[in-house]
Structure 1
């Protein structure tokens, strides 16, 4: 599932690749996603800004999060999270931050306040996270992803500053002070944005999408495993 940033009102949609629905590959030993994977609203990794730490520009998307809580979230669910740290993925030459968080309603949330707590209380989880992001595109014929900081996680303060900076990039975007390119900034909630639309205009966009059709069957390939040497 992706935020369709080029569509009006940025709906959540299943990603399509070469005309077919896209599913995440199972790269042994990881079955699907190993956390709740989502994004922080009102953030933007500016593709025209070269990050001083990674040396790469942003990936033109909201900043991603990996929620390490115990509850499996539903698609589109909105949760409040506590920031713990971040991983600097370099995805095809672009900076793609992965912020490690925990749902504030998780019964163990009080035990997690920084990235070192994850290392201590969930041993192996961060290493598995690096391994997941390094290899998840290999089944598509792409090379392993790389990381800034040698794949080390940065702490909570660094991560919060990263979130704040990407929020500033978003504010410039939504106020038309940065070039949006193909992004669709139409919205209903930022009243001083030149892209803010009326409720009637938003309703028209929703109605134009049409009714839901029947679900497509899930292909058997979704359960295929891929194996690679470390």
Structure 2
């Protein structure tokens, strides 16, 4: 299995901060060069951008060479997410699936809304707090269709395959059984986290229900990953407008 390292440039909490990724072959892009799929079925690579309980809005920068992780800036100011009572910062390890892209020129068939111009987001719900830049293997449990200011913004729910709960969590329904209330808390966090900045509450597709990995939702959940992977390939080939 490939291993990755990172190198930091600039001070944290500054506009100069950058985290670059490396493999044994040299510098790589976490967006383009880390594979989406692991060798194990239903296991994906995840790039952790934001550790749990932190507020700095860190993200893979698609626009810069080699796509480092940097802190997002809006109107010249570093972005920090507001706390959503009673939580502190992000309530999961938050990051992205590499080699995925939510195409802003493509209307998603599930949500009837265009993509948000970013990789697909992942909420890793295990016990360990991972530092920014970690590349971990996660088991996908389900997905939430968030609509953010008219754009599709899928939220994948997943767990680190090394987590003690990983063997017991195989679908979204298992999360409610073993972590009661956590899925509701996740939905409400995403609904309200932009309200303190003056933005409206976010909405959700599928009647606000999570889509699982198995059962009647099986065909819907994997189709999302295929869709965003195809969009990534189109972006890489310069076919996205």
Q: Same fold judged by TM-score > 0.5?
A: yes
Q: What residue in structure 1 maps to residue 117 of structure 2?
A: 60
Task: After superposing the two structures, state which structure 1 stretch, 61-70 or 150-159, moved more.
Answer: 150-159
Q: Could you report, residue by residue, the CA deviation over 1:49-74 in whole angstroms, capped at 9, with x for unpaired residues?
A: 11111110100100000001110010
Contact 1:36 1:72 in 2 (8 A): yes
* Equivalent of 2:101 in 37, 44, 55: 44
Does structure 1 retain, via aligned residues, the 8 Å contact 2:105–2:240?
Answer: no
- Aligned equivalent of 1:165: 227
The SS at the match of 2:136 is coil
Name the structure 1 match of 2:167: 110
Matches for 1:83-162 after TM superposition, within 5 Å: 83-156=140-213, 157=218, 158-162=220-224
Structure 2 Cα separation of the partners of residues 131 and 141 of structure 1: 17
Q: TM-score, normalised by structure 1?
A: 0.76
- Is the Cα contact below 8 Å between 1:83 and 1:159 reproduced in 2? no
CA distances 1:30-50 after superposition (whole Å, capped 9, x unpaired): 211111000000000011111
SS at match of 2:106: coil
- Residue in 1 aligned with 2:11? none
3-state SS in 2 of match to 1:120: helix
RMSD: 1.0
Contact 1:119–1:126 (CA under 8 A) maintained in structure 2: yes
**Larger relative contact order, structure 1 or 2 (CA cutoff 8 Å, min sep 6):** 1
Match of 1:73 in 2: 130
1:211 is aligned to: none
- Alpha-carbon distance in structure 1 between the residues aligned to 2:81 and 2:240: 32
* 3-state SS in 1 of match to 2:114: coil
Query: Partners of 1:70 and 1:23 in 2: how far apart?
Result: 23
Q: Which runs of 5+ in 2 are unaligned?
A: 1-57
Cα distance in 2 between the residues matched to 1:129 and 1:151? 12
Please give the per-residue CA displacement for 1:104-162, whole angstroms capped at 9, x wherever unaligned: 11111010110000111110000000000000000110110111112110011333321
1 CA distance for matches of 2:104 and 2:74?
22
Higher Rg of the two aligned structures: 1
Q: For residues 6-21 of structure 1, what are the structure 2 equivalents within 5 Å? A: 6-21=63-78
| CA distance in structure 2 between the partners assigned to 1:149 and 1:19 by the alignment | 36
Residue 111 of structure 1: SS of its match in structure 2?
A: coil
Matching residue of 1:2: 59
Structure with the bigger percentage of strand: 2
Instruction: Give distance in 2, aligned partners of 1:24 and 1:163.
Output: 27
Report deviation, 1:167.
0.6
**Separation (CA, whole Å) in 1 of partners of 2:128 and 2:223:** 27
- 1:146-225, aligned counterparts within 5 Å? 146-156=203-213, 157=218, 158-179=220-241
Give the structure with the higher percent helix. Answer: 1
